[in-house]
Amino acid sequence: MAVFIRHVPQQLHSSGASSDSGANGCSLSAELVAAVKFFHQRQIQIQNEASQLPEEVRERMSFLELQAQVLLQRVTFNVAELQEAIRIIDKDVPRTDRDLTYYLDEGLGNLLVLRDILITYAAFHPDVSYAQGMNDLCSRFLVVLDSEVETFWSFSCYMENFSKDFHADGLHRKIELEAALLKELDPLLHAHLVTDNMDRFTFCHRWLLLGFQREFEHCEALRLFEVLRCDHLELISQQVERARYQERLVQNQTTEDNPGVEPQAINTEYTFELFICATIILDNRDILLNCRNDVQLIQFTNSLQGTLDLNSTLKKAEEHFFNYCKRSAWDYLNTRYHSHRSKEEHFLNQLRSLFS
CA 8: distance to chain centroid? 25
- Please name the residues in contact with 153: beta carbons below 8 A apart, sequence gap of 6 or more: 1
CA–CA dist 277, 178 (Å, integer): 8
- What per-residue confidence (pLDDT) applies to 229? 84
- What per-residue confidence (pLDDT) applies to 28? 61
C-alpha distance across the termini of the chain, in Å:
86
| Contacts of 324-330 spanning 24+ positions with Cβ under 8 A | 324/181, 324/184, 324/185, 324/266, 324/270, 324/275, 325/235, 325/266, 327/184, 328/264, 328/265, 328/266
Q: Where are the alpha helices (DSSP H) in the chain?
A: 2-14, 30-51, 55-73, 79-92, 109-124, 134-145, 148-162, 168-185, 187-193, 205-210, 218-229, 238-257, 272-283, 285-290, 294-303, 310-355
- What per-residue confidence (pLDDT) applies to 350? 54
Reported as half-sphere exposure (CB side, CA atoms, 13 A), residue 204 has a value of 27
How many CB atoms neighbour CB 19 within 10 A?
18
- What per-residue confidence (pLDDT) applies to 30? 80
Q: Answer positive or negative: Cα dihedral of 235, 236, 239, 240.
A: positive
Residues of each domain in the chain carrying CATH 1.10.472.80 = 168-349
- What per-residue confidence (pLDDT) applies to 130? 95
Query: Is 247:332 a contact under the CB 8 Å cutoff?
Result: yes
CA–CA dist 62, 46 (Å, integer): 14
pTM over 0.85: no
Q: Please list the ranges in the chain whose pLDDT falls under 50.
A: 1-3, 7, 13-27, 259-264, 337, 351, 354-356
- What per-residue confidence (pLDDT) applies to 251? 62
- What per-residue confidence (pLDDT) applies to 110? 92
CATH topology assigned to domain 168-349: Cyclin A; domain 1 (1.10.472)
Q: 155-213, pLDDT tens digit by residue?
A: 999 999 889 888 888 888 888 899 999 999 999 999 998 875 556 688 888 899 898 99
- What per-residue confidence (pLDDT) applies to 264? 45
